[in-house]
Amino acid sequence: MSGYHQIQRIVLWVLLVCCLLVLTKFILFKRSPEYYKNYFAHQYSAKVISDGWKHANLKPFSTIYLFYRSKRLREEYKYDNIGGNIVGFMPLGVLLPALFLTFRSFWRVTFIIFCISLTFETTQLLTGLGSFDEDDIILNTTGGIAGYLVYLGLKKIIGDEPGIPHSS
C-alpha cells in the first residue's frame, strides 16, 4: 500500500471513530457528565428497563406517522428529529465500505448499519438514557443506505485510484 493510501486509511479511520463518538454523544449522552454520574449512582435500577419496555415503540412507522400528523409539535422539531436520524448515519454508509471490503455490498452495509442502530436503541432501553424506537432504527438504516449510495457515486466519479483504497 502506498504512503498516500496509508494516510487515506488513517484519515478514514479517524473519521469513522469521530462519527461513532458523535453518534454516541447525540444518542446516549445528551446531558452533562455530572447528570450521568448522579443518574447511575442514585436513580438507575431494574425498574428503568421495565419502564423502558412500557414506553418502547415496537410498531414500525408509528412515531414517524405521529410526527406527520401532530399539530402540537413544531415543524422544526419534526424535521430535526427525522432528518437527524437519517443524516447522522449517512457517514457510516460512506466510511464502512471505504474501509472494509466486507461492507462493499448493499446488503452487508445495510445489515451492519442496522446492527449499529439496534445497539444504540437497545442501550437506550437497558440504561434508560433514551427510549427504544423502532422508527429510529428504520430512519438510521435509511441514512446508512443513503450514505452507501453516496459512496457508490463517489467511487464512480473518483474511480479506484487514487480514490478509496481497495484493501481492508
Domains of the chain by residue range: 3-158
DSSP states of 36-100 as a string? HHHIIIII--HHHHHHHHHH-B-STTHHHHHHHH-SSS-HHHHHHHHHHHHHHHHHHHHHHHHH-
Question: What was the pLDDT predicted at 10?
Answer: 95
- In order along its 168 residues, the chain shows pLDDT tens digits of 678 889 999 999 999 999 999 999 999 999 999 999 999 999 999 999 999 999 999 999 999 998 888 888 888 888 899 999 999 999 999 999 999 999 999 999 999 999 999 999 999 999 999 999 999 999 999 999 999 999 999 999 987 644 455 544
pTM score, whole prediction: 0.90
